[in-house]
Amino acid sequence: MKTLIKNGTIITAYEEFEGDILIEEEKIVDIGKDLAASCVKVDKIIDASGKLVFPGGVDQHTHYDAQGTVGDKNTAGYETTDNAIVGGTTTFVEFVPQEEGMGLIDSAEYRKKHRAEGKICVDYALHALVTDVKPAIFDEVEKLPEYGISTIKVFMAYPGSYLHADDGTLMRILEKSKNVGVTTFVHAENGEIIEFLRDECVRSGNTAPKYHYLSRPPVSESEAARRAIYLAKAAAAPLFIVHMTCEEALEELRIAKSGRLNVYGETCTHYLVTTKAALDNPDFMEAAKYICSPALRDEKDCEALWEALDSGLLSAVSSDHCGISLKEMKLAGKDDFTKVPNGAPGAGDRLNMVWTNGVAKGRISKTKFVEICATNPAKINGIYPRKGHIGIGSDADLVIFDPQYKGVVRQRDNPNGIDYNIFEGREQIGRPETVLLRGKVVVENARFTGKKGQGTFIKAKPYGACYRGL
């Protein structure tokens, strides 16, 4: 099967040019001008005149199935990933919490077989996620690359819970990971500061959603970011800091980079376009949607994050997608914000929100958009250039994007499988019209036309970009 995409404006992380893309089966086999004239017979021609063609998005931070980490009930699972692909994301790197009584690799295998397969609509790689710190975990780190996992995440937040990794644990993970080219990701928040402030709030009867951000101040994030950076320095290991939100934490990243440390960071869509004002809403059900950790910040932080993306201080934008339902799960915290499960969905809106508020508003260029939404995440996670790039030999994961589209985000247009969308009603400029996954058209006219279960596991290679620079 040969498909030709002709007359599009091709955008990669490096350049923008008019041209055609020839696809044979799952791969890109030719890129150039006027391939239509020179090509042998093709089975399908897609005319991309007036459209942009960029690599399918790579979302390196998703929690589609967060079992065990968000309370007794689970998040919306992989059957809802059609929402992400309609939004232009064709690959995830999903966090795998340990299944009860299992190690890192068993949990990944279990997840593939019993949770993802037959349901997932996008290709996916996996991050190991330490949620049960015990000695066997440290030895398992060395076996991750053989299995195709090249990243591991630990939580510095949530002390007293089985999720929490203390400094000693983080240090050992960094050390073990470095020996085999695995990159350590951290959720950097000082859990002790947060616990103290939360207890104070609850004791004083301050239980409304806004106390979520008041008990998770920027200093709790910047302190943990700095400490993680120092531990990485001590272990001489690379480090990736997830979901960075504020000026103070960015300053720690800047200092680390100016000291030539291999430290990188991402932010998430909601930190770029939403502020903590959303938690001041007196309607609990409205405010609770926006309870995530770290907390939302101020307008000035949103601007600092955009600047950090543009300058290269931050390397990527992820969704931190977490399909926590409002009526089933968040409602548990109606009388106490500390009982609201943290997290929000957003995989389906990541590209649209970054385009609308970034490219269309002149904050970042088109090539930067591709870099932070697809190429860098693929490099960081050891799946580049198979994913995140338009090049000969890359998987034909492509978005044909209509930059003229003007509309409004509506849950009904691209449902995410739960009972709200934190971007509902927002302006949207441009949209993915057609999406190809490994050469197959799976989205047409912005509607899912693929099959549930079409996604496959992608083995990640060790020594991702955090080892040598992006």
Cβ neighbourhood burial of 381 (10 Å; 0-12, 13-18, 19+)? buried
To the nearest 10 degrees (0 to 180), the angle between helices 191-203 and 218-235 is 160
Q: Which of 225, 291, 269 is closest to 70 using CA atoms?
A: 291
Binding partner selected for residue 216 from ligand URP, Zn ion, none, CB under the kind-specific 5 to 8 Å limit: none
Task: State the Cα–Cα distance between residues 199 and 214, nearest whole angstrom.
Answer: 12
Binding mask 156-195 for Zn ion (x = CB under 5 A): -------------------------------x--------
- Percentage helix, strand, coil for the chain under 3-state DSSP, each rounded to 5: 35, 25, 40
Binding partner selected for residue 358 from Zn ion, ligand URP, none, CB under the kind-specific 5 to 8 Å limit: none
Binding partner selected for residue 172 from ligand URP, Zn ion, none, CB under the kind-specific 5 to 8 Å limit: none
Q: Which of 201, 322, 340, 442 binds ligand URP (CB under 6 A)?
A: 322
- Shortest CB 33 distance to ligand URP, Å: 44
Whether the upstream peptide bond of residue 294 has omega within 30° of 0, thus cis, is: yes
Work out whether 51 is an interface residue with Zn ion (CB under 5 A). Answer: no
Task: State the Cα–Cα distance between residues 124 and 464, nearest whole angstrom.
Answer: 16
Q: Which of 269, 315, 342, 357 binds ligand URP (CB under 6 A)?
A: 342
Work out whether 221 is an interface residue with ligand URP (CB under 6 A). Answer: no
To the nearest 10 degrees (0 to 180), the angle between helices 247-258 and 299-311 is 20
Work out whether 320 is an interface residue with Zn ion (CB under 5 A). Answer: yes
Of 131 and 454, the one with the shorter C-beta distance to Zn ion is 131
Binding partner selected for residue 39 from ligand URP, Zn ion, none, CB under the kind-specific 5 to 8 Å limit: Zn ion
What are 347's two structure tokens? Answer: 């995989």
Binding mask 425-464 for ligand URP (x = CB under 6 A): ----------------------------------------
Single-letter code of the amino acid located at 283:
D
Work out whether 30 is an interface residue with Zn ion (CB under 5 A). Answer: yes
Q: Which of 21, 58, 85, 292 binds ligand URP (CB under 6 A)?
A: 292
Work out whether 209 is an interface residue with ligand URP (CB under 6 A). Answer: no
How many residues contact ligand URP, by CB under 6 A?
8
Q: Which of 19, 191, 343, 455 binds ligand URP (CB under 6 A)?
A: 343
Task: State the Cα–Cα distance between residues 207 and 211, nearest whole angstrom.
Answer: 6
Work out whether 320 is an interface residue with ligand URP (CB under 6 A). Answer: yes
Residue 346, CA distances (Å) to 5, 63, 101, 317, 424 in order = 29, 11, 30, 11, 11
Task: State the Cα–Cα distance between residues 185 and 316, nearest whole angstrom.
Answer: 13
* Cβ 405 vs Cβ 398: under 8 Å: no
Work out whether 12 is an interface residue with ligand URP (CB under 6 A). Answer: no
Work out whether 289 is an interface residue with ligand URP (CB under 6 A). Answer: no
Window 79-138: residues binding Zn ion (CB under 5 A):
none
Residue with tokens 């994961």: 397
Contacts to Zn ion by CB under 5 A:
30, 35, 39, 187, 320
Contacts to ligand URP by CB under 6 A:
63, 187, 292-293, 320, 322, 342-343
